[in-house]
Structure 1
Amino acid sequence: MTRSTLTVAAAAALALGALATPLATQAQQPAKLKVGFMLPYTGTFAALGVAIENGFRLHLAEQGGKLGGREVEIVKVDDESDPSKATDNVNKLIKRDEVDVVVGTVHSGVAMAMAKVAKDTGTLLIVPNAGADAVTGPMCAPNIFRSSFSNWQPAYAMGEVAAKRGHKKVMTITWKYAAGDESVGGFKEAFEKNGGQVTKSLNLPFPGVEFQALLTEIAAAKPDAVYAFFSGGGAVKFLKDYAAAGLPKTVPLYGPGFLTDGILEAAGDVSQGMVTTLHYADGLNTPRDNAFRLAYAKAYKLQPDVFAVQGYDAAQMLGAGLKAVGGDTTKKPQLIAAIEAAQIESPRGPFKLSKAHNPVQDIYIRKVDGKVNQVTGIAIKALADPARGCRL
């Protein structure tokens, strides 16, 4: 070889070496963890979907953008709170986008379709809100978890509270869909177990807000109290119409916390004094919750609500599983076992999961005071959903 040929060969070797180093480093980096968000970003529940995502992202930011040592990439689909589109939407995330885990949703009917697809495909699903009893009941599966509640839990607690307050005859009102039916069922179970009677259950199609005829029926029947299940924009309209009908003066209104959570600004004075039950409340004043509320307010210039907490805890649950397997999602049995065994240090208070993968948690009594759902006591400590029909 001539001197000039050797020089060219040496330069080429050096160039290849320079290229090889970053390529080798890149090859050692694990692929990003793909998390599919299937949440409502439009319609009645849009604000709820945003709060869930904010909570999840807050925990992710606290972990430096990684869970189990892996950077996270978020892929989003607007589920529009439409059960008829749910199967196609969740399949987009699983088959088209090839996500490792799905997080969603708010609407119980949509969540039921998501759970079926997750069960059929073995995809890890974390439900950050929808309380459909069946998700951790007959449809329970090793790969399906919930970071929120079952519809039965806050409703059952309120049934006990209403009975202890001396009410004997109560009417219920809700949208005619899974969440409404199950919430009313949970309330009725506890209320009648404690000597009360649900005299009539009223409903209207989701997401309808034409309440006047039903409110007229309530006024004529004069029950001791009313139990209502609504959320988001529908809850605002219901509270305003209930007040406009003059009912709060003679017929106390109760409900699960969704009736007032996240809507106090929009509802204004008509929500004042409302008593609800839920697994989160303002004024818990624990170090964990105070730190969470401060961090959330700094990040989003908003006060957090229960939906933000549930999103935050969905990220904590996923992180606990991934940490145990070093971020390797192919080790699914070990990942699942780690989430099952985890104690989640939630802003709501620490909780563990039931055998059916639903939180076992305190249910608080709250009262609207100004712009907060102030805690006034605990309705039931460490309440576990009965998970009827679960065969795990």
Structure 2
Amino acid sequence: MTNATFTRRSAIALSALVLAAGANAQGVDKIKVGLMLPFSGTYTALGVAIENGFKLYVDEQGGKLAGREIEFIKVDDESDPAKATENVNKLIRRDKVDVIVGTVHSGVAMAMARAAKESNTLLIVPNAGSDAVTGPMCGQNIFRSSFSNWQSSYPMGTVAARQDGKKTAMTITWKYAAGEEMTNAFKEGFEKEGGKVVKQLTLPFPNVEFQALLTEIASAKPDAVFAFFAGGGAVKFVKDYAAAGLNKTIPLYGSGFLTDGTLDAQGEAAQGMFTTLHYADNLELPKDKSFRTAYAKAFKLQPDVYAVQGYDAAQILRTGLDAVKGDVSKKAEFAAAVEKAKFDSPRGAFTMSKSHNPVQDIYLRKVDGKENKMVGIAAKALPDPARGCKL
């Protein structure tokens, strides 16, 4: 072999090493965000809205957070708790993501929170309201951009009893963590104000055969019914309730998910319903107006609460990353920055509690046409009780 041949080969090899190093450096420079959301089944539309909202915020920052490009890795969680641990560990161990964003189903979110705590991976929950996420499962590396189940439903109980004067109520939901926590929170608020929940009805998730339970409600004749369903289940329940004629004799209340993102399909059946939530369609806030315009332009859709929560999940991530200059290993500094921040959200400004749940206004909304219109504030700057949190 000649010296010239050796030199040429050495130069080629060196160039290859330099290119590989450059590629690795680029890879390191990116923040890997694992989107573990429902992209099939009952909650598909919710998962898509969260993803859209998150990506809209990132796009508004020029595609970077804290100067680092964002790489998205998607996993369909199928709203199946039995697959949750395997799915989240794919993101943590195989894909080595820097942060996980998810999910909608509370049972799945609990498995994600456990895995995040064990691996000390950043987790931002953009919907699932499981009380335990900011209660016993709270952690320095776990944040929520949405609500706790208690937070969204307790105020509806106080409104129904104190403001509307209802004395008896029944609740109905799927038999899983989110439904049971929301209906229990309604009961807590309702009974604190002197009402009495006479029965709490459940059916397996995602069953939508409501007829037998609607017959039981008609027979019991309570003053009010409080329901939690979302997505396709919410559409069918509200329509079935109206078809049974119950909406004319027993007012139906709900947490806002009963009518958010579902009004087009529910149509006349939802008109006049009252719900409580941290977002409404007519807030008339400058931030909300600009958000709604940008979202409609980007996705040819009107945004809902799920899109807002995705948007604010990205905003929380940016706040923490800015404080640590993109170094996701600095969990304490990341958390401290988020805890001190005031977030300019489409829902209205909110802060973050010590347990990392938004401290936010809960609006009383009334369905009017295709809008959930804000008619009052059911609870001002309401914090989650964070029962069991040791932070």
Q: Return closer, same or farther for 1:26/1:214 CA change in 2, 3 Å cut-off.
A: closer
Could you list the per-position Cα deviations for residues 301-346 of structure 1 after superposition, in whole angstroms to 9, with x for gaps in the alignment?
A: 1110000000000000000011111112222222222222221111
Q: How many aligned positions are there?
A: 387
Partner of 1:383 in structure 2? Answer: 382
**1:244 maps onto 2:246 in alignment:** no
**1:85 maps onto 2:95 in alignment:** no
**1:33 maps onto 2:17 in alignment:** no
Partner of 1:123 in structure 2? Answer: 121
Partner of 2:150 in structure 1? Answer: 152
Matches within 5 A, 1:349-388: 349-388=348-387
CA positional deviation for 1:12: 11
Could you list the per-position Cα deviations for residues 88-121 of structure 1 after superposition, in whole angstroms to 9, with x for gaps in the alignment?
A: 0000000011100000000001001111111111
Partner of 2:287 in structure 1? Answer: 288
Query: Following the alignment from structure 1 to structure 2, what is the Cα–Cα distance between the partners of residues 10 and 132?
Result: 64
Partner of 2:110 in structure 1? Answer: 112
Query: Following the alignment from structure 2 to structure 1, what is the Cα–Cα distance between the partners of residues 224 and 13?
Result: 79
> What secondary structure does 1:284 align onto?
coil
Q: Return closer, same or farther for 1:15/1:157 CA change in 2, 3 Å cut-off.
A: same
Could you list the per-position Cα deviations for residues 35-80 of structure 1 after superposition, in whole angstroms to 9, with x for gaps in the alignment?
A: 0011000110010000000000000100111111100000000000
> What secondary structure does 1:50 align onto?
helix
> What secondary structure does 2:342 align onto?
coil
Q: Return closer, same or farther for 1:24/1:100 CA change in 2, 3 Å cut-off.
A: closer
Matches within 5 A, 1:115-194: 115-163=113-161, 164-194=163-193
Matches within 5 A, 1:321-340: 321-340=320-339
Identity over the aligned pairs, expressed in percent?
68
Q: Return closer, same or farther for 1:251/1:17 CA change in 2, 3 Å cut-off.
A: same
Q: Return closer, same or farther for 1:14/1:203 CA change in 2, 3 Å cut-off.
A: closer
CA positional deviation for 1:32: 1.1
Could you list the per-position Cα deviations for residues 222-270 of structure 1 after superposition, in whole angstroms to 9, with x for gaps in the alignment?
A: 1101000100000000011101100011000000000000011111111
Contact in 1 for aligned 2:91/2:97 (Cα 8 Å): yes
Corresponding letter in the other structure for 1:185: N
Query: Following the alignment from structure 2 to structure 1, what is the Cα–Cα distance between the partners of residues 368 and 17?
Result: 64
**1:303 maps onto 2:302 in alignment:** yes
Partner of 2:344 in structure 1? Answer: 345
Tell me which moved more, 264-273 or 98-107. 264-273
Unaligned runs of 5+ in 1: none
Corresponding letter in the other structure for 1:300: F
Query: Following the alignment from structure 1 to structure 2, what is the Cα–Cα distance between the partners of residues 193 and 19?
Result: 71
> What secondary structure does 1:131 align onto?
coil
> What secondary structure does 1:223 align onto?
coil
Quick one: which of 61, 68, 71 aligns to 2:69?
Answer: 71
CA positional deviation for 1:31: 2.2
> What secondary structure does 2:207 align onto?
coil
TM-score, length-scaled by structure 1:
0.94
> What secondary structure does 2:29 align onto?
coil
Unaligned runs of 5+ in 2: none
Partner of 1:258 in structure 2? Answer: 257
TM-score, length-scaled by structure 2:
0.94
Corresponding letter in the other structure for 1:382: A
